[in-house]
Structure 1
Amino acid sequence: MSQEYYNVRKGIFATITYAFIMSIAAVGAKHVQTQISVAVLVFWQSLFCVVVLFPQMRGKWEKRSFDTIKIHILRSVGGFVGFLCYYWALNEIPLVEASLLRSCAPLCVPFVVLIVHKIFIPKARWVPLLVGFVGVALVIHPTPTNFNPWHIVGFLSAVGLAFSMITTRMLSTKVSSHETMIVYFSFSAACSLIMALAQGDSIALPVNVWGWVLAVSGALYVGMYLYTLAYTSAPASLVSPVSYVGIAFSGFWGWVIWGHVPDAYAISGTVLIFLSVLLSASVAKKRA
């Protein structure tokens, strides 16, 4: 068994586990946001992860180049914005739709690559992208009498996640996964604290919320570790299609807990988006 095959298999298994754990975290986040703001939740979950990671970084800090710092900043901004938009969308649209729109990140990856690396999108990738964006349109299905702007917010979470995917891969050859995570969570904690205070929110948690926040934070820590492991073990073009199993997990929780059943538009859009990711992976494999 070659090392490359082992890494790809590890990345796929990590992605499936990540998708399941993050679907549980989403359930907890959707529930707890009935009592605290998104900024407060993001602050506490980020602080929790910093506290857990800090001892693991003892003696491992190194001076980094300016280029590496820039990538850290891009990765942190993308991850922070992605999570904020995802949590905001969870409050307003069904869990499965918010998760589906966040899972559109692979569709955004070529555009992020264009921005970050100045690499233009190959002609062969345009068909999969068009198929995917038709799927997104079906999920949102805007009409003059039926348009929910929170679907757009949910899609913005995919844009943030796409930046996170690309920059995580870029950092994988420069720093450890633990460093990538602690820098991101420190940035997230600081930004969410500023946001909470600016909104006039108290960061003190009600007693009955502590257990939920701890559960969400623990799931997020494990999930982000698996996410980082997946995208540092295998190319995004191979790992991304597997991440769509998370939509099935989210659909199950949304149906069991809230009674949300995806309509024909959402189901059709899901099929097209998944098909587009498979086509993109096929194109990437042929070009490799």
Structure 2
Amino acid sequence: MLDDNELLKKGIIMTIAYAFVMSLTALAAKQAQTMIAVSTLVFWQSLFCALILLPQMRGRWQKRSFAVWKIHFLRSFGGFIGFLFYYWALNHIPLVEASLLRSCAPLCVPFVVWMLHRIRIPKTRWLPLIIGFIGVAFVIQPTPDHLNPWHLVGFVSALGLALSMVTTRMLSQQVSGQETLFVYFFVSTILSLPLLWLQGESLVLPVEVWPLVAAVTVTLYVGMYLYNLAYTYAPASIVSPVSYVGVVFSGFWGWVIWGHVPDIYAILGMLFIFSSILISTRMARNRG
């Protein structure tokens, strides 16, 4: 049996692997969106992942209460919004900036908890939150001369991810991880259809985009699997700051493929946001 140090090492390795694999998902998604609409990509990635998970659900189905299904839907809706707005942002801002804004999800978690449970944010949490949102301001640069609305779209993806994080935690004591993911991908597939209809987009995938959609699907599924393993081996206080390395991977791909080099404001934003997440996770660990 592995001791705590070995489990911690495995958790860190799994977290880094998760961050790397999800950077490949973003890379493939950004390339695929040059040929198909975002809603089309979300539909197919969700459908394929649901089909991969379907055999794993054999013999696992159980009757659930309305309260559990309500949380399932909130988690699925949050995940759907998170990916949809993240992919939209990828079309218009550098990969590293979109990933950076999405990584702000832990900053949004206290506000989601307040909305769902009316639990007030402790005074001790305001310092890291303020530091984190200063970092967000550095990235977005909300002045009339610099404000890019697509940065705000990227930040909405963080809100969606935060909702999925909170509700996943709520579901973790009641349902299996496979059930949570399957319901999420199934609901995401359904939610994509009216969006496709409203935008007048086609479900048909050009032959040349199939390898990219396959890459998105496989890396997304593997990333989710590694994410679950990371939380199995290590506490959130370790996983959350280590997963921030994904921003570095995204920055590398953006530099190598598109020649995007973060400016001084984006770099300052990274430092502030990472510091905020690190302070928050240390506070959580000390309370534990």
Shorter-normalised TM range: over 0.9
Please give the alpha-carbon distance, in whole angstroms, between the structure 2 residues aligned to 1:142 and 1:264: 15
Q: Secondary structure at the match of 2:243?
A: helix
Deviation of 1:277 after TM superposition, in Å, equals 0.7
Q: Does 1:275 align with 2:281?
A: no
Q: Secondary structure at the match of 2:201?
A: coil
Partner AA of 1:88 in structure 2: W
Q: 1:70 to 1:225 in 2, by over 3 A?
A: same
Q: Does 1:265 align with 2:262?
A: no
**Percent identity between the two aligned chains:** 65
Alignment of 1:123-202 (within 5 A): 123-202=123-202
Deviation of 1:287 after TM superposition, in Å, equals 1.8
Between 1:277-286 and 1:99-108, the stretch displaced more is 277-286
Partner AA of 1:228 in structure 2: N
Partner of 1:53: 53
Q: 1:69 to 1:192 in 2, by over 3 A?
A: same
Q: 1:93 to 1:144 in 2, by over 3 A?
A: same
Q: Deviations over 1:117-171 (max 9, x none)?
A: 3221111111010000000000111222111000001011011111111111221
Deviation of 1:269 after TM superposition, in Å, equals 0.7
Deviation of 1:10 after TM superposition, in Å, equals 4.6
Deviation of 1:12 after TM superposition, in Å, equals 3.3
Q: Deviations over 1:177-198 (max 9, x none)?
A: 1111100000001111221122
Partner of 2:35: 35
Deviation of 1:237 after TM superposition, in Å, equals 3.6
Q: Secondary structure at the match of 2:62?
A: coil
Q: How large is the Cα RMSD of the aligned pairs?
A: 1.7
Partner AA of 1:154 in structure 2: G
Q: 1:61 to 1:7 in 2, by over 3 A?
A: farther
Partner of 1:106: 106
Deviation of 1:258 after TM superposition, in Å, equals 0.3
Between 1:8-17 and 1:265-274, the stretch displaced more is 8-17
Q: Secondary structure at the match of 1:92?
A: coil
Partner AA of 1:198 in structure 2: L
Q: 1:173 to 1:6 in 2, by over 3 A?
A: farther
Q: 1:142 to 1:256 in 2, by over 3 A?
A: same
Deviation of 1:228 after TM superposition, in Å, equals 3.4
Partner AA of 2:59 in structure 1: G
Partner AA of 2:144 in structure 1: P
Alignment of 1:13-28 (within 5 A): 13-28=13-28
Please give the alpha-carbon distance, in whole angstroms, between the structure 1 residues aligned to 2:194 and 2:8: 39
Taking structure 2 as the reference length, what is the TM-score of the superposition?
Answer: 0.95
Q: 1:119 to 1:10 in 2, by over 3 A?
A: farther
Deviation of 1:239 after TM superposition, in Å, equals 1.9
Please give the alpha-carbon distance, in whole angstroms, between the structure 2 residues aligned to 1:173 and 1:203: 37
Structure 2: gaps of 5 or more residues: none
Deviation of 1:284 after TM superposition, in Å, equals 1.2
Q: Secondary structure at the match of 2:244?
A: helix
Partner AA of 1:221 in structure 2: Y
Alignment of 1:54-133 (within 5 A): 54-133=54-133
Please give the alpha-carbon distance, in whole angstroms, between the structure 2 residues aligned to 1:4 and 1:64: 35
Please give the alpha-carbon distance, in whole angstroms, between the structure 2 residues aligned to 1:61 and 1:53: 13
Please give the alpha-carbon distance, in whole angstroms, between the structure 2 residues aligned to 1:234 and 1:120: 27
Q: Secondary structure at the match of 1:79?
A: helix
Partner AA of 1:86 in structure 2: Y
Q: Deviations over 1:225-274 (max 9, x none)?
A: 22234346554343211110000000000000000000000001100100
Between 1:64-73 and 1:213-222, the stretch displaced more is 64-73
Deviation of 1:276 after TM superposition, in Å, equals 0.6
Please give the alpha-carbon distance, in whole angstroms, between the structure 2 residues aligned to 1:153 and 1:232: 32
Q: Secondary structure at the match of 1:192?
A: helix
Between 1:12-21 and 1:144-153, the stretch displaced more is 12-21
Please give the alpha-carbon distance, in whole angstroms, between the structure 2 residues aligned to 1:221 and 1:79: 14
Alignment of 1:234-253 (within 5 A): 234-253=234-253
